[in-house]
Amino acid sequence: MAKTDALQGSLDLLVLKILSRRAPLHGYGIMTAIEEISGDALRVEEGSIYPALHRMEEAGLVRAKWIEKSNGRRARSYEMTARGRKQLTSEEARWTAVTSAVQRVLKLA
Amino acid sequence: MSWIGRFTNLFRRDRLHEEIAEELASHIAEAVERGRSAGEVRKAFGNELLQRERSRDIKLVPWLDSLASDVVFGWRQLRKRPAVSTAAILSLALAIGATTAAFRLVDAVLLRTLPVAHPDRLFYLAVNYVDRDGQPDYRDDFDYPTFQKYREAVADRADLMVVGINARQDVVFGSAAEPERVYRQYISGNVFNVFSLQAALGRLIAPYDDLTTGGSPVAVLSYEYWTRRFARDPGVLGKTFRMGSDLFRIVGVAPRGFIGTEPGAVTDVFVPAMMNTEAIHSLGWSWFRIWMHPKPGFSAEQVRQLLQVFFLREHQERLKEFDSRTAKTAIKAFLNEKLLLLPAASGASDVKRQYRRPLLILAALVILVLLIACMNVGNLLAAQAAARAREMALRVSIGAGQWRLIQLVLMESTLLAAIASALGTFFASWSAPLVVSMLHVPEDPVRLVLNSGWRSLAFSVALTSLVALLFGLAPALRASGVKPISALKGGQEPPSRRRGMKALLAAQMAFCVLVQFVAGLFVASFQRLSNRPLGFSAEHVLVMDLSASQKQPLQVWMQMADQLHGTPGVQSAALAGWPLLSRNRWTEMGVRVPGKLTEGRPSYVLDVSPGFFETMRIDQIDGRDFRRGDLPPRLGASTQPLPGVGIVNEAFARVYFKGENPVGRSLWLPIAKDLSAPMQIVGYVRDAVYYDVRERVHPTMYLPMNPRQHDAFLVRTAGDPLALAPTLRSLVLKARSDFQVHTIETQSDFIRWQMLRERLLATLSLFFAIVALLLAVVGLYGLLNYLVTQQRREIGIRIALGARPTQVVRRVTTDLLAMVSFGLFLGLAGGLACGRFVESILYEVKPTDPAAAAPLLALFAAALLAVLPPAIRAVHIDPAETLRSE
């Protein structure tokens, strides 16, 4: 549970970051990408990734389209919009600021 | 994010559901492929349904949800302060109602297009000319011989139509005993074809009905009349009615919605133009408008130019008939006349022509009142918004978006506007018919279809939204721009807000003054007109319009007058060609007085019987009244001029005899081309108004009556003249069965008719002025009250520091009174600027009269009154209490 909690505020950031590198990607792909890159340190629950994606879609940060997969199934793939890119930049900066601040506190306190 | 996107989501809920389900299913399938168990993945998803709901919620619900909660919240806000809300709603309702009523009137009279094919390709002919006072004017009625010539001239380039002027006429259906009054319209046989109308029942009047004079006595009923009189009985076809001397057969019913071509009148019966047998061959008897529809390939202007050439040639032809002594200026004016084509898409009528400007002016006044009301409510809401600044700040600081706040405040104002609009519509549907009933006396009502269904509805919806935006947007934007920090600290609001509110106040005052000013002009105009001396006494005079089956000598008419005179309750009875102020006139241009050059000076002529002056109470200055046996100047049997006698008025004596007593003098009166007969003046009477209540008294000659078929009986009664009407009617019919009584009216009605426009303008503008004043005063009061509340702390401190009451009052009111004065000044300037537009419909009142500024004093007094209570409250602020509460 602790893992997901830590992710709470940063899921959007992670999703956007993943999409900025390897779009388009469907929900499952995004989930596994996060897990793989973090070396399984971060686990994304199915229960939170889709609401997050849908919310971001509504907010115009990502857009989705259906693509045909090799097995005949359709998958909904997401890619980042221009607004998403802007959001990513500012979120990333904010995150860096916050974590480095936390770092400093941890070191110096 | 877009609202539209969410809204479309609302309508494709099911697809949305499926898509989400498919996406999740696809995910599970992939996970299973990679070796996880389906159950585990499902568990990780949690409750799938819940998951789906959550995803859907993100796409759909929040907006709807917030909308619903805004409605509820808005309603609660309105209910929380019932006094303010009620005041806002009532004032808005009044303004919206008045605006809606004005729209319905303007729409019905000026805007609504006829339900016919190609209304934009319909025109009617008019001739413009310069009237006697040098003002440009136009006439649009024509006679049949002229129409025939025009029709030949345009041949196959356009359809020319006879579109008769609606007139009331008595008809007798079948074997009914009592005649009924219908509105009949003569039309040429091609009208229904050109309009592309289809009969609702039977057939319409066709070209073959309109070929020979009196040849086809058929009639088509309007749908409205068919419904009202015959309850849509299909058996009406083939029924007959008698109108004049002809028996007409009903052959059809016009389509629903087509009620004739004249805004202000609803046609009951259409009959072929060629059935107007009396008028059809008379040159100069104008009884219809000529409508024109250019055929494909021809423009209206092409047709007009063609007609203009023809018109000019005809004018030059007619000039040869002129008396050789006709004034050169008159000839020049005659030759300068031009043929015009006016658009007929929305019909043509005298009501439309006469009330165009008054209606537009009233509409403008109404819009001003509406603006004042909107500003009021706007200021009210702004004050409220200020009071709610903390609430808004709290919302912002817990993350409410800007749009969300705008939506919240706009919802409130929309609610206000919607409620006011509903009330206003009630008010409009009650008041618009009331105004219409003011347009005419009961005998000859103006009939308008006021509620045009979707047009009225569309207008109401548009107006409501506009009004909501108008007063709601500014407070909404302001609320959304609130700075949480300063608001939560309880700091001062930015001074820019108060400046905005004060600017609104100044504008409100300016509009109010404008309304007062214009209303003042109309009221003064109506008063002057009502009080103008007419030179005769209209009270207790009954006017009976009679005709005989053929020309009767004066002797016969006088016998009838004697009989009427003998009736109890009748003081005197006399005859005239027509009653005074009945909008009939006979103008004589060629009067010559020996030794006096008065070229082209028009005089009015009226033929009257002995006893006319006594009956009308026109005082005799000198000479005598007419006697039986007196004759007018006339043409003898062998076309030699025969002398006659006449009576003249003071204006006549002023123009022709330097104001000296003209009794015994002689003059020459033209009786045929280049032929005059001598007339001896036997009587000299006081001035009386002849044609129009607004005109100055013109030189007038009264002549003895010739044998005639048609006459107006004037009966002076002791009591209520209308009470005697039935008795007199039956008396006439009993005495002479070959006589017909057309109408019985009072002479006062004629005067009232002529002052309808002034009465309407005065009454309605006065009403609007009062409403505007009330609204402005309430607005001023509200604003000052708000300011005092806002500055309570400051005032408290000042009082604590020893400020005197006068200083306190001055402090809170100086600014406002400056704004009020500024507004008054602006409004006055605006009023003077608009004055030119209304001047033409004023009677002896000039916008520049100092008296026109009188309403300003009233307004200023009202403003002081409104300022008083909040100012007193400011003085009584208890510093200790105020400071404690902060």
Are B26 and A73 a contacting pair at CB < 8 A? yes
User: For B69-100, what is each residue's pLDDT tens digit?
Assistant: 778 888 887 787 777 778 788 888 888 888 88
Higher pLDDT, B831 or B203: B203
The predicted pLDDT at position B375 comes to 84
Q: Would you say residue B610 lies in a domain? A: yes
Which of A54, A69, A73 has its CB closest to that of B55?
A54
Q: Which residue of A has its CA nearest to B63?
A: A58
Are B816 and B867 in contact, with CB atoms under 8 Å apart?
yes
Residue A3 is predicted with a pLDDT of 40
Which residues in chain A are contacts of B23 at CB distance < 8 A? 27, 50, 75-76
Range of the structural domain that residue B464 is part of: 76-112+352-489
Per-residue pLDDT tens listing for chain A (109 residues): 334 444 556 888 888 888 888 778 888 888 888 888 888 888 777 777 887 888 888 888 888 888 877 777 788 888 888 888 998 898 888 888 888 988 999 888 7
Give the one of B19, B44, B59 whose C-beta lies nearest to A58's C-beta: B59
Q: Do A76 and B19 touch (CB under 8 A)?
A: yes
The shortest C-alpha distance from A102 to chain B (Å) reads 25
The pLDDT of residue B616 is above 90: yes
Tell me, yes or no, if A84 comes closer than 8 A to chain B by beta carbon. no
Highest mean pLDDT pick, B273-277, B350-354, B763-767: B273-277
Determine the distance in angstroms separating the CA of B403 from the nearest CA of chain A, rounded to an integer.
14
Amino acid at B185: Q
Share of chain B above pLDDT 70, in %: 90
- Chain A residue numbers with beta carbons less than 8 Å from the beta carbon of B55 are 50-51, 54
Q: Which of B1, B8, B23, B54 to mutate to test the interface with A (most CBs of A within 10 A)?
A: B23
pLDDT at B781 (0 to 100): 83
Helix (H) or strand (E) holding B565: helix B554-565
Task: Give residue-wise pLDDT tens across range B109-154.
Answer: 888 888 898 999 999 999 988 776 677 888 888 999 989 999 998 8
* Domain presence at residue B334: no
Closest CA to B279 of B287, B271, B291: B287
Tens of pLDDT, residue by residue over B424-462, are 888 888 888 888 777 765 556 677 777 667 787 788 888
Contact A47 B1 (CB under 8 A): no
Residues B387, B407, single domain; the answer is yes
Q: Does A94 contact B at CB distance below 8 Å?
A: no
**Which residues 6+ apart lie within 8 Å of B82 measured at CB?**
none
What's the pLDDT tens digit per position in B297-340? 999 999 999 999 888 888 888 888 777 767 777 788 888 888 99
φ/ψ of A20, rounded to 5, equals -70, -25
- Enumerate residues 6+ apart whose C-beta is below 8 A from B192: B204, B205, B206, B220, B254
Question: ipTM score of the complex?
Answer: 0.80
- Domain match, B758 and B706 both: no
Using the predicted structure, report yes or no on whether residue B162 has a pLDDT greater than 80. Answer: yes
List of chain B residues whose C-beta atoms are within 8 Å of the C-beta of residue A73: 26, 29
Q: Check CB contact of A58 with chain B, cutoff 8 Å.
A: yes
The verdict on a CB contact (< 8 Å) between B27 and A55 is: no
Structural domain including A44 reads: 2-108
Q: Please count the structural domains in chain A.
A: 1
Establish if A73 touches chain B: CB-CB under 8 angstroms.
yes
Q: Is the Cβ pair A74, B22 closer than 8 Å?
A: yes
B224 in the same domain as B162: yes
* CB within 8 Å: B59 and A47: no
A interface test, pick of B55, B56, B63 with most A CB neighbours within 10 Å: B55
| Interchain proximity B45–A46, CB inside 8 Å | yes
Q: Are residues B187 and B291 in the same domain?
A: yes
CA–CA distance, B304 with B212 (Å, rounded to integer): 28
* CB nearest B27 (choices: A46, A51, A57): A46
User: Apex CA B884: angle with CA B880 and CA B886, to 5°?
Assistant: 125
Asked if A63 has any chain B CB less than 8 Å from its own CB, the reply is no
Percent of chain B with pLDDT over 90: 24
Residues of B with CB under 8 A from a CB of A: 1, 5-6, 19-20, 22-24, 26-27, 29-31, 41, 44-46, 51, 54-55, 58-59
Please indicate whether, in this complex, the C-beta atoms of B30 and A54 are within 8 angstroms of each other: no
| Residue of higher predicted confidence among A61 and B380 | A61
Does A51 contact B51 at a Cβ distance shorter than 8 Å? Answer: yes
Which of the two residues, A8 and B763, has the higher pLDDT score? B763
Which one of A28, A58, A73 has the shortest CB-CB distance to B58? A58
| CB-based contact, A107 to chain B, within 8 Å | no
- How far A73 CA sits from the closest chain B CA (Å)? 7
Report which of residues B46 and B731 the model is more confident about.
B731
Domain shared by B567 and B687, yes or no: yes
Q: How far apart are CA B764 and CA B365, in angstroms?
A: 10
Nearest by CB: A55 against B27, B44, B58: B58
Distance from CA of A69 to the nearest CA of B (A): 10
pLDDT band for position B11 (50/70/90)?
low
Q: Which two three-digit tokens encode residue B59?
A: 């796409």
Residues B130 and B273 in one domain: yes
Give yes or no for residue B8 having a pLDDT over 60. no
Residue B27 half-sphere exposure toward CB, CA atoms < 13 A:
28
Q: Do A51 and B1 touch (CB under 8 A)?
A: no
A76 in contact with B at a CB cutoff of 8 Å?
A: yes
Q: Which residue of B has its CA nearest to A49?
A: B45
Note whether A60 contacts B: Cβ–Cβ < 8 A. Answer: yes
- Residues B286, B301 share a domain: yes
In a domain, B323, yes or no: no
Length of chain B: 886
Highest-scoring range by mean pLDDT, B218-232, B663-677, B707-721: B218-232
Last residue of a domain, one of B697, B718, B739: B718
Asked if B58 lies within 8 A of A27 by C-beta distance, the reply is no
One domain, residues B865 and B801: yes
pLDDT of B1 over the 50 cut: no
Average pLDDT score, chain B = 83
Tell me the C-alpha to C-alpha distance, in Å, between residue B493 and each of B466, B478, B484, B486, B490: 28, 11, 11, 8, 9
Question: What pLDDT digit, counting tens, does each position of B683-706 carry?
Answer: 999 999 998 888 889 899 999 998
Looking at residue A30, which CATH number applies to its domain?
1.10.10.10
β-pair type (B570-576, B708-717): antiparallel
CA distance A30 to B264: 74
Domain boundary among the residues B456, B489, B522 is at B489
Residue B332 lies inside a defined structural domain of this protein: no
Q: What whole-number distance in Å separates Cα of residue A25 and Cα of residue A5?
A: 24
Contact A46 B19 (CB under 8 A): no
The whole-angstrom distance between residue B290's C-alpha and the CA centroid of its chain comes to: 24
Q: List the single residue in A47, A57, A69 with the smallest CB-CB distance to B44.
A: A47
Which among B23, B29, B44 has CB closest to A76?
A: B23
Q: Determine, yes or no, domain membership for B320.
A: no
CB contact under 8 A, A74 and B26: yes
Assess whether B500 and B485 both reside in one domain: no
Residues of A in contact with B20 (CB under 8 A): 50, 54
Q: What is the pLDDT of residues B825-852, one digit of tens each?
A: 888 888 888 877 788 778 888 777 766 6
Residue B5: its chain A contacts at CB < 8 A? 58
Min Cα distance B34 → chain A (Å) is 11
What does the DSSP 8-state code read for residue B119? G
Domain tally for chain B? Answer: 5
**What are the residue ranges of helices labelled H in B736-839?**
747-754, 756-790, 792-800, 805-839
How many CB pairs lie under 8 A apart between chains A and B? 54
A58: closest chain B residue by CA: B1
Task: Grade residue B223 by pLDDT with cuts at 50, 70 and 90.
Answer: very high
pLDDT of B493 strictly over 60 = no
Quick check: A50 and B23 CB within 8 A? yes
DSSP, collapsed to helix, strand or coil, labels residue B77 as helix
Considering only the beta carbons, identify the residue of B26, B29, B46 that sits closest to A47: B46
Separation between Cα atoms, residue B188 and residue B192, nearest integer Å:
9
Same domain, residue pair B236 and B151: yes
Residue B308 lies in a domain: yes
- Residue in B with minimal Cα distance to A52: B55
3-state secondary structure of B659: coil
Q: Could you tell me whether strands B288-294 and B158-164 are parallel, antiparallel, or unpaired per DSSP bridges?
A: antiparallel
Q: Which residue in A has a C-alpha nearest to residue B28's C-alpha?
A: A28
Q: Which residues of A touch B41 (CB under 8 A)?
A: 46
Widest CA span in chain A: 57
Shared-domain flag, residues B596 and B697? yes
Residues B108 and B247 in one domain: no
pLDDT tier at B341, thresholds 50, 70, 90: very high
Q: Which pLDDT value is given to residue B488?
A: 59
